[in-house]
Each structure stands twice: as C-alpha cells, then as structure tokens.
Structure 1
Amino acid sequence: MDFVLPFSRTFLYKFIRFALVGVSGIFVDFGTTWILKEKFKIHKYIANSCGFLLATITNYLLNRYWTFQSNDPKAFQQFGKFFAIALVGLIFNNIIIYILNDRLKINFYLSKAFAIAAVSIWNFFANYIYTFAT
C-alpha cells in the first residue's frame, strides 16, 4: 500500500496545532531541564530526558484532545504509541545534543533547541501516520 500525505486544509490545521502544542512543550521541556540541571545540579542528559518526557506527557494530552481531536476509547494504548515514538525521538534528541554540545562544543541549550526542532519533524509525521491515524 502506498502512503500519500494529504496536504489538505485539515492537514495544515493539524500541523499548525501540532506546532503550537510543540511550542508549549518547549517551555515545559526547557523549564524542567533548566531547573534540574542548573538548580539541582542533575547530570545534563538526565535533566534533558526528564524535561523531554514531561513535555511528552503534556504534548500527548494537548495533541489528543486539541490537535487530532481523538475520541479513541483506547487512550492508554494510544499513549503507548505516542510514548514509543517519543522514546525514539528522545534517542535522536540526546544523540544530536551529544554531537553538537559534547563534540562540537556548541552551547547546551542551543544544541537542545536544534535537537527539539529536528525531532519535532519526526514526532509529527510518526504520530500523524501511526498514533492518531483515522
């Protein structure tokens, strides 16, 4: 079966909503990471992972009810799909931060911002195709 993305008005609205939810997730992610890393002196990858995972939970809820307007009664299974995609994204996120921050010596938070932007593309399409497919 060939998969063709329907670049329709509905698709565009979902993408814009997903992006807005993502912006809110950036605040959750960066805020959590900063507090854990800078205030509690937790290792940067643990702080990064905690921020990423907390943002994943809030993003799931917002995307389920607002972006994709899902009424799927199997919310727990749907969250499992969303979380699995997020875990793959977290691996990409930490790899990108490692390359940019540890190897290329780019500022940690700038590296994190770039990683979030790159992983957001993965997250949208994976969730559009797999998690919230109608």
Structure 2
Amino acid sequence: MRKWLSFIKFALVGVVNTSIDFIVYAILTWFNVNYILAQCISYSAGVLNSYIMNRKWTFEQKGKGRKREFITFIGVNLITLVMTSCLLTLFYKHLGLSLWISKLLVTAVCMGLNYIGTKKLVFTKWKERRTSL
C-alpha cells in the first residue's frame, strides 16, 4: 500500500508540475518561441516545483537536501527532458500530430520513466539504491 501511496502522491505532484509546464509552454508558444526552447523552459519550471514537492511530500525527506540528491534529480530530469524533446519532435514534426496532442502524449510517456528514476536514484540512500537496482 505504501508503494501505491508514493506513486499517487507523485502523480498528484505531477499534475501540479504539468499544469505549470503547460501554462508556461502555452505562454511561450503564444509568443512564437520555438517549440523546443519553449519545452526546455516550461519543463524546467515544472522541475523546480517537482523537486520541492516530491522531496518534502512524496518521498518525505527530512532535513536539508544534499548536493548529490539535487544533482541526481537534475540528471534524471535532463534525461527526461531529452526524451520529451525527441518524442515531441517525432510526434509533431515526423508523425504530423498536433502540437498539443504531441505534448500530451510525451507527458504521459515520460511520467513513468521520471517516477522510476526519481524514486530509485534520487530520494534513496546509497545502500538502498544498490539493493533495489
């Protein structure tokens, strides 16, 4: 049950992050910012919120964050950003889907990857990480 609660919390934080991401993306693309640059900026805005909310609420980390934790978090999210940008280009430019449908599909696909990376690599102790991989 605890594993599911963690995923449910992650998903709820994801709704907030995605809302931030989509609002920033909409504003930027409305001003004709390139869709990949808009994706990078909007995704980064959601990531900042994600770190704070997931650290404190989802994974219930106590005390001050460690440098390793934050750097690993950024690394996981950079990998996710690269994947979202590639998939966005694939869906939008190569498959001809609308930009917003592409954005929704990309968000759905990459949420699971991000959860696994965040749970297994970021908010775990080194000893726990070695045994869970």
Shift of 1:26: 0.9
Residue identity in the other structure for 1:15:
F
User: What does 1:91-130 correspond to in 2, within 5 Å?
Assistant: 91-130=82-121
Measure the CA separation in 2 of the matches of 1:24 and 1:10.
21
Residue identity in the other structure for 1:27:
S
> Could you give the per-residue CA deviations for residues 59-83 of structure 1, whole angstroms, max 9, x where no partner exists?
1110000000112533443121111
What is the TM-score normalised by the length of structure 1? 0.89
Quick one: which of 48, 54, 66 aligns to 2:57?
66
> Could you give the per-residue CA deviations for residues 51-104 of structure 1, whole angstroms, max 9, x where no partner exists?
001101101110000000112533443121111100000010011111100001
| 2:27 is the counterpart of 1:29 | no
Aligned residue pairs total 125
Quick one: which of 15, 18, 39 aligns to 1:48?
39
What is the TM-score normalised by the length of structure 2? 0.89
Name the % identity: 24
Shift of 1:15: 0.3
| 2:3 is the counterpart of 1:15 | no
Measure the CA separation in 2 of the matches of 1:51 and 1:76.
24
Identify if the C-alpha distance between structure 1 residues 33 and 108 changes in structure 2 by more than 3 Å, giving closer, same or farther.
same
> Could you give the per-residue CA deviations for residues 24-47 of structure 1, whole angstroms, max 9, x where no partner exists?
111100100110111x21111101
> Which consecutive residues of structure 2, in runs of 5 or more, have no partner in the other structure?
126-133
